[in-house]
Amino acid sequence: MTKKRDYKAMLSELGPFIGLIFVFVLFAALTPSAFTSFYNIKTILTQSVIIGIAAYGTTFIIVSEGIDLSVGSQIALTTVIVAAVLNLPASDPGLFYPLLALAAGVLACTGVGAFNGFIITKFRIVPFIVTLGSMQIVRGVAKWIGKEQTVPTPDNWLTNLMLIDPSPSWLIFGPGVWLTLVLLIVSAVLLKYTVLGRYTFAIGSNEQTARLCGIKVDRMKIVIYALGGLLTGVAGVMQYSYLTVGDPTTAVGLELDIIAAVVIGGGSLSGGEGSVVGSIVGALIMAVLRNGSNMLGLPNYVQEIIIGSIIVGAVLIDQQKHRLRAAG
Amino acid sequence: MLPAEPGVRIIAEHVSLRANAVISYRSFSVSHTLRRLVLLALIPIVWGCGSSSSEGSGEDGAASSLEIAVVPKGTTHEFWKAIHAGAEKAAAEFGVEVIWQGPQKEDDRQLQIQVVQNLISRGVDAIVLAPLDSRSMARPVEAAVARGIPVVVIDSGLESDAQSSFIASNNYEGGRIGGQYLAESIGGKGKVVLLRYQEGSASTTNRERGFLDALNEYAPDAELLIDNMYAGATMAKALQVSQNILNRFPEIDAIFTPNESATQGMLRALETSGRAGDVMLVGFDVNQILLDAMRDGTLHGLVVQDPVGMGYEGVKAAVAIVEGETIPERMDTRTILVTPFNIDDPEIQELLHPDFDRWLDN
């Protein structure tokens, strides 16, 4: 009995991986050899960086039974702030100004995250509404800073982060891909093996119990949203690197892609479940699907239907998990 | 403010919105069995797609022909359909395959970058690109050229030296034609509004400049009420901005709008405020709604381009480069003024109603 349950539970844990392997093998079989070429793999990885890094942060938030709809706006804000800082010096931005721009962008998003967390806990408003509001506010601020235009920037090293063929070629992958990997390890350890992570699960599983156990739930939530903002800020810097301009209208609706990545990766919107590794796998599944569909020449409506089906499928698996748990 | 910031919409719908590079191309180079497998897998998901895939698969013999990718700024405007028709016309003439892929929204820089990256990965023979941002598309174009894929830029400029050629309407001249017609129509004086399109779009910025220069030249006494408002990428946004402008200025004699969505948004705003026909409206680009408006007397002039010619010349140039010929760095395609007076001329009619059915399926 227990053996069977373990087996099933393991299967659902591995679900996202199996899904990723399945779509990859499917497209590898169907498309010209270009799909499995190393260059295309690098392309897919690079195209997963922004959603992936932001999804790490959103994983923490979703595990704590929260949600952040302002992520797309935060990414736009970061690109604009980065561009604004890069335009500060009159001449070549050198090494220092890009660093300052990076710090400013990440800090701004951390601030937005902390603000979201503060309003949610202080005034007991549901996260959906608070972040729906901050989505608009942050978008507005981005447009304000950008003077409602895209902000061109001088050439600088930040724009090399998202190259598919990195400039010192021994790197093999662009710096953005490596950063995604490093942050994957950091976030996964943080969520799984630290007090912060344990508390996040505790709050998401049962907030009342967590409170009774002496967890300072409000303070923790602010930290969780700020951490989400921090990672979103990093994703925003990557978005800037991708676009090479500050764009206040970019990433509209991207938060829903990010939430989808977390959900496909096993995150539950009712809290208490989710993993950072699952989320990056979710992001990769979507990137493979899009890239593969482009390669195969599938009409866009087929892509939409497939990705939509996968989201519903992932939620079905999630439900199944709950049933198994309830039965056990 | 835009109420359209999508927050509450369903996740699935949104994700799919970002998923769409719009695609139509003819030949899969996969075996029959595999193709059948795809169809079997997809039929339960969507019935209609099966037939279009098999129809599109075409002859296997075409596999050896050149693959020329054509990447528009968007796919929802009639203008891009005409570019597509021109590209297919050239494809038929030169015996090459056209792969048509682009972002759905004309402000989705990220998706256009991804489409170009995926085409590089796919290893097409050449790319014909209408960049929707003159800066952010420079990197992907340079990446393509670095991997031996020549790029022909059409419609809008690119801030890069990597592309082989730039083929576009003379947008400045087009703006001037519209400006001169507007200035002369209002008798050289009156209150004029310029609704701009979007910052960072080189083609429309040049039209706006041409319009302003012509206005200064032919109507130096005209009063320019406003020239710093942007219509944005969609008609819905243009409509809102236009309504705000119309509310702000109760007296306007003439309005110039530099692209299709801005023109349509302004036209609709004039209609909703009951001022259509009272205010002279000169637009840029064309669709059926705008032509109907011209017949109804609510739209008074349209500067039109020759997108069929642009798509055709783009693919033609790409083929020439792949075959080792040298082509000019810059080529102009036509801009022509359509007014209620010349709309029925055969030459204008052919420009306005290209024979889509002949070149595009479905």
Helix (H) or strand (E) holding B85, with range, is helix B78-94
Closest CA to B135 of A83, A214, A129, A38: A83
Q: What is the CATH number of the domain that holds B202?
A: 3.40.50.2300
CA–CA dist A160, A164 (Å, integer): 9
- Which of A34, A256, A307 comes nearest B122 by C-beta? A34
Instruction: Classify residue A87 as exposed, middle or buried by CB count within 10 Å of its CB (0-12, 13-18, 19+).
Output: middle
For residue B314, being part of any structural domain is answered with: no
Chain center to CA of B60: 32
Which pLDDT value is given to residue B131? 93
Tokens describing residue B270: 């004039």
Cβ atoms of residues A217 and A117 within 8 Å: no
ipTM: 0.74
Q: What is the least distance, in Å, from the CA of A304 to any CA of chain B?
A: 4
Q: Give the pair of three-digit tokens for residue A222.
A: 């602010």
- The single-letter DSSP state of residue B27 is -
Question: Considering the domain boundaries, does residue B107 fall inside one?
Answer: no
Which pLDDT score is estimated for B55? 34
For the ranges A252-261, B20-29, B169-178, the lowest mean pLDDT is seen at B20-29
Residue B294 counted as domain residue: yes
Q: Which of B280, B305, B330 is the last residue of a domain?
A: B305
- Distance, CA of A116 to CA of A66 (rounded, Å): 11
Chain B residues inside the 8 Å CB shell of A136? 1, 5, 7
pLDDT tens by residue, B240-295: 899 989 988 989 999 999 998 899 999 999 998 889 999 999 999 888 889 999 99
Q: What is the pTM of this model?
A: 0.74
Domain ranges of chain A: 12-327
Facing A243 at nearest CB: one of B15, B110, B120: B110
Question: Does B72 map to a domain?
Answer: no
- B135 neighbourhood in chain A, CB within 8 Å: 150, 152, 244-245
**Distance between CA atoms of residues A3 and A22, nearest Å:** 26
Longest Cα separation, chain B: 72
Q: Which residue has the tokens 């792949």?
A: B322
What letter does residue B279 receive in the DSSP assignment? B
Query: In a mutagenesis test of the B interface, which of A300, A312, A315 is the best target, namely the one with the most B β-carbons within 10 Å?
Result: A300
Beta carbons of A180 and A261 less than 8 angstroms apart: no
Using the beta-carbon criterion (under 8 Å), do B136 and A135 form an inter-chain contact? no
Which of B10, B22, B121 to probe the A interface (max A CBs under 10 A)? B121
Cβ contact A168:A182 at 8 Å: no
CA distances from B18 to A254, A288, A303, B116, B178 (A): 8, 14, 10, 15, 36
Q: State how many domains chain B has.
A: 2
The beta-carbon neighbor of B7 closest among A69, A251, A263 is A69
Contact A139 B42 (CB under 8 A): no
Contact B122 A311 (CB under 8 A): no
Could you give the CA distance from residue A323 to residue A268 in angstroms, rounded to a whole number? 13
Which residues contact residue A130 at a Cβ distance below 8 angstroms, ignoring those fewer than 6 apart?
Answer: A116, A119, A120
Q: Which residues of chain A have pLDDT under 50?
A: 1
Q: For B12, which of A152, A250, A311 is closest by C-beta distance?
A: A311
Please report the pLDDT score of residue A289 as a whole number: 87
Unique residue bearing structure tokens 């010192």: A168
B-chain residue closest to A261, CA distance? B15
Contacts of B39 in chain A (CB under 8 A): none
From the list A30, A139, A159, which residue is nearest B38 (CB)? A30
b/e burial code for range B227-247 (CB count within 10 A of at least 16 → b): eebbbbbbbebbbbbbbebbe
Q: B20 and A304 in contact by Cβ < 8 A?
A: yes
DSSP state of B75: S
Instruction: Specify if B290 maps to a domain.
Output: yes
Helix (H) or strand (E) holding A321: helix A300-327
Bridge partners of residue B151, in order along the sequence: B127
For the four alpha carbons of A44, A49, A52 and A55, in that order, the dihedral sign comes to: negative
Instruction: Compute the nearest-CA separation of A6 from chain B (Å).
Output: 31
> Does B175 lie in the same domain as B51?
no
> Do B339 and B113 meet the contact criterion of CB atoms below 8 Å apart?
no
Q: Within this chain, do residues B177 and B299 fall inside the same structural domain, yes or no?
A: yes
Pairwise CA distance, residues B216 & A85, whole Å: 37
Q: What pLDDT score does A294 carry?
A: 77
Beta bridge partners of A245: A152
Residues of A with Cβ-Cβ distance to B117 under 8 angstroms: 43, 46-47, 164
Q: Are B109 and A132 an interchain contact pair (Cβ–Cβ within 8 Å)?
A: no
CATH class of domain segment(s) A12-327: mainly alpha
Residues in contact with B89: Cβ distance below 8 Å, sequence separation at least 6, in sequence order:
B308, B311, B312, B358, B359
Q: Is residue B285 part of a domain?
A: yes
User: Residue A322: what pLDDT?
Assistant: 67
Which residues of chain A does B9 touch, with a Cβ-Cβ cutoff of 8 Å? Answer: 253, 256
Q: Report the amino acid identity of residue B95.
A: G
Do residues B21 and A294 lie in contact, with contact meaning Cβ atoms separated by under 8 Å? yes
Cα nearest neighbour of B52 on chain A: A299
Answer with the one of B46, B63, B80 that is the final residue of a domain: B63
Beta-carbon separation of B123 and A305 below 8 A: no
Give the Cα separation of A114 and A292 in Å (integer).
38
The residue of chain B nearest to residue A262, with distances taken between CA atoms, is B11
pLDDT of residue A5: 57
* A87 contacts on B by Cβ (under 8 Å): none
Q: Which of A39, A163, A259 sits opposite B121 (nearest CB)?
A: A39
Residue-level pLDDT at B355: 79
pLDDT at B286: 86
Please report residues of A whose CB lies closer than 8 A to that of B244: none
- Residue B258 belongs to some domain of the structure: yes
Return the pLDDT at B301: 96
β-bridge mates for residue B195, sequence order: B229
Between B353 and A138, where is the model more confident?
A138
Question: Is the distance from CB of A306 to CB of A289 less than 8 angstroms?
Answer: yes
Nearest beta carbon to residue A306 from set B17, B25, B45: B45
pLDDT digits (tens, 9 = 90+) for B108-130: 888 899 999 999 998 899 999 99
Q: Pairing relation of β-strands B126-129 and B191-196? A: unpaired
| A3: closest CA of chain B, how far (Å) | 34
Nearest CA in chain B to A47: B114
Q: Which of B118, B133, B139 sits opposite A150 (nearest CB)?
A: B133
How far is the C-alpha of A27 from the C-alpha of A33, rounded, in Å? Answer: 10
What range does the domain containing B222 cover? Answer: 171-305
